[in-house]
Structure 1
Amino acid sequence: MRFIWQLLAVVVISMAGGQATAAVDGNPWLQLVIGGLSAVLAVLLYGWVVRRTEHRPSTEVGREGAPAALGRGVLIGAAMFTAVIANLFVGDYYEVDGVASPSGAAGLLGFMAAAAVTEELLYRGVLFRYVEKLTGTWIALLLTALVFGGMHLLNPDASLWGAVAIAVEAGGMLGAAYVATRRLWVPIGVHFGWNFAASGVFSTEVSGNDTQQGLLDSATHGPVALTGGDFGPEGSVYSVLFGVIVTIVFLSLARNRGHLVPRRRADRQAALAKLAR
């Protein structure tokens, strides 16, 4: 029931925020405000329901050190996507025709903040934590990455390769970011930095979704393997490569910090008890 209550809380605030954002479609400044408020309320509600159901401090969304951790995550996510675009630009597969819509970028700032927060609370804060308690870190990373990638098959212009790419470069990487830090701020930051760079700055498709125009008036063309085609640069081999590299770095940090939870039940319970302290 703890899992159900936490899952319901995040789903409800996600749906409410999505409906509110859709209601002001076309007004980027209201999108910015509503998206930002949805993100803050989602974190507060998650923290409250975890404290009520698990009778412990919700340390994974604790305020101490949160701005710095969030900022690091944003920089990592934005730098990763910028590296993808840089490779496409050098290969003449991405071109910029000027500035498009700064106000549209502001609206996407709020929209992507709400999306990043609610998805990380759901997939890493709820789903990953509970699966890890049952199976250990490695199986939890695999299963939740597959679920995260599979859910993107519901997106417009989705493809099997796109879902696999998301599972590897995002599902696995964001799970690894949580394991390395045992907090949700870095994965939230990485998720937001990547999505906002993709949509709000470089004006590309995000997981098959053709979002409103961002800061740059741009176009992507060329081999699907490199550009991701209609799915967007998240389906690019560059994205998968950079995602794998960052995942390895996060997992190395997790191992060095003793944050990996083993599969064997007795060892798993001891590791979880140690992490809880």
Structure 2
Amino acid sequence: MSLWNTQAVRWGKHQFSQSPFEPTRRVWPAGVRLAVMVVLFVLVTGLAAGMRSVAGENPVLSLLLGAVAAVLALTVYAAAVRFLEQRPATELDTTAAGSGLRVGVATGLGLFGVTLALIALFGGYGTEGGVSVGGALTVLGMMAGVAVVEELLFRGIIFRLVEELTGTRGAMVVSGVLFGGLHLVNSGATVWGALAIAVEAGLMLGAVYAATRTLWMPIGLHLGWNFALSGIFGVTVSGNEDQPTGLLHGVLSGPEAITGGGFGPEASVFAILVCAVPTVVFLRLAKRRGRLYTRGQLRSAGTASAS
């Protein structure tokens, strides 16, 4: 192994280490950290989008650059937390990565499977053409990068730092609305679709993070849901009409309330109803674990840890 590679591995291990360390500088207020980290991750998001553009519909490049984007985003996030907050990024504890990702991916696949089954039951889903394994791999690489970058931004940064300012409930609303709003830039976006995303995905993923206090399960759930949508069943993801075709070429037909129309199944009433179930389950779990915080509780905890 070259000297550069050895130093890179050591630096990576340092960033993800969960060992406590002595603060070397003052921790900035939550609002300042929020602004700095959002700007930083806007740059990371742009870089990841550039990688997806370079990969195009090449499955090998998509898998490779998707992995690079995910690792880059995770490393930047962990380094920013250590520098700006003077603490290890415990929400990215690598010992919880395997189980969190497995459970999250399985949950995402299952939730969308149920959603599409309900749409198909009402005659809203069919397929045409053959299958494309290469297309599925292309989507997998693309969605891996998307899931990691978006969850670090919306749950790791926005939810977590807004929670310090407003408490858990405020963080869920703000991160959910902003997450839905992000999807208005997609080519086939609709206001209803963005609102549906805010409710079914923004609130659900916020509830998962609140209950687990780890980013691995939200990342896995996000990946499993998106991959099932486009990578397996071949339907539009969040109004993004320019995405590669996955394993199947799905065709939606019927009332938009059932199928989601041009925005895709995420704008279906079935998606909202299906995702409401885990949202309630994880919120109840978070409450049972004492992880629904008020602003005062978080401020007291921060003061105690600083003293």
Alignment TM-score > 0.5, same fold: yes
- Listed one character per residue, the Cα deviations across residues 173-214 of structure 1 (whole Å, up to 9, x for unaligned) are 111111001110111111111001000000000000122110
**CA separation in 1, counterparts of 2:182 and 2:304?**
33
Compare 155-164 and 223-232 and name the one that shifted more.
155-164
1:219 is displaced (CA, Å) by 1.0
1:162 is displaced (CA, Å) by 0.6
Q: Does 1:212 align with 2:229?
A: no
- Listed one character per residue, the Cα deviations across residues 49-79 of structure 1 (whole Å, up to 9, x for unaligned) are 1111111010011101211111111111111
Paired position in structure 2 for 1:50: 81
- Listed one character per residue, the Cα deviations across residues 69-120 of structure 1 (whole Å, up to 9, x for unaligned) are 1111111111111111111222221113453211011011010010111011
What root-mean-square deviation, in Å, do the aligned CA atoms of Structure 1 and Structure 2 show?
Answer: 1.8
**CA separation in 2, counterparts of 1:275 and 1:234?**
42
1:143 is displaced (CA, Å) by 1.5
Paired position in structure 1 for 2:271: 239
Q: Which amino acid aligns with 1:219?
A: V
**CA separation in 2, counterparts of 1:271 and 1:137?**
14
CA contact (8 A) 1:261 1:272 kept: no
Task: Return closer, same or farther for 1:114/1:273 CA change in 2, 3 Å cut-off.
Answer: farther
**CA separation in 1, counterparts of 2:107 and 2:62?**
25
SS at match of 1:219: strand
**CA separation in 1, counterparts of 2:216 and 2:246?**
25
Work out which of the residue numbers 144, 150, 160 in structure 2 matches 1:113.
144
User: How does the TM-score come out when normalised to structure 2?
Assistant: 0.85
Paired position in structure 2 for 1:188: 219
CA contact (8 A) 1:262 1:271 kept: no
Compare 231-240 and 21-30 and name the one that shifted more.
21-30
Compare 114-123 and 19-28 and name the one that shifted more.
19-28
Paired position in structure 1 for 2:117: 86
Compare 63-72 and 228-237 and name the one that shifted more.
63-72
Q: Does 1:223 align with 2:223?
A: no
Q: Does 1:166 align with 2:230?
A: no
Q: Does 1:270 align with 2:289?
A: no
**CA separation in 1, counterparts of 2:302 and 2:240?**
38
**Consecutive aligned runs of 4 or more in structure 1 exceeding 4 Å deviation:** 271-276
**CA separation in 2, counterparts of 1:161 and 1:65?**
36
Work out which of the residue numbers 64, 70, 80 in structure 1 matches 2:101.
70
**CA separation in 2, counterparts of 1:80 and 1:155?**
23
> Which sections of structure 2, spanning at least 5 residues, go unmatched?
1-31
Paired position in structure 1 for 2:178: 147
SS at match of 1:261: coil
Paired position in structure 1 for 2:19: none
User: How does the TM-score come out when normalised to structure 1?
Assistant: 0.94
CA contact (8 A) 1:9 1:46 kept: no
1:163 is displaced (CA, Å) by 1.1
CA contact (8 A) 2:111 2:225 kept: yes
- Listed one character per residue, the Cα deviations across residues 106-135 of structure 1 (whole Å, up to 9, x for unaligned) are 011010010111011101111111111011
- Listed one character per residue, the Cα deviations across residues 20-41 of structure 1 (whole Å, up to 9, x for unaligned) are 2202313221011101111112
**CA separation in 1, counterparts of 2:61 and 2:305?**
41
CA contact (8 A) 1:7 1:122 kept: yes
**CA separation in 2, counterparts of 1:215 and 1:245?**
28
Task: Return closer, same or farther for 1:275/1:203 CA change in 2, 3 Å cut-off.
Answer: farther
Which has the larger Rg? 2
Q: Which amino acid aligns with 1:213?
A: T
Q: Which amino acid aligns with 2:259?
A: T
Q: Does 1:16 align with 2:47?
A: yes
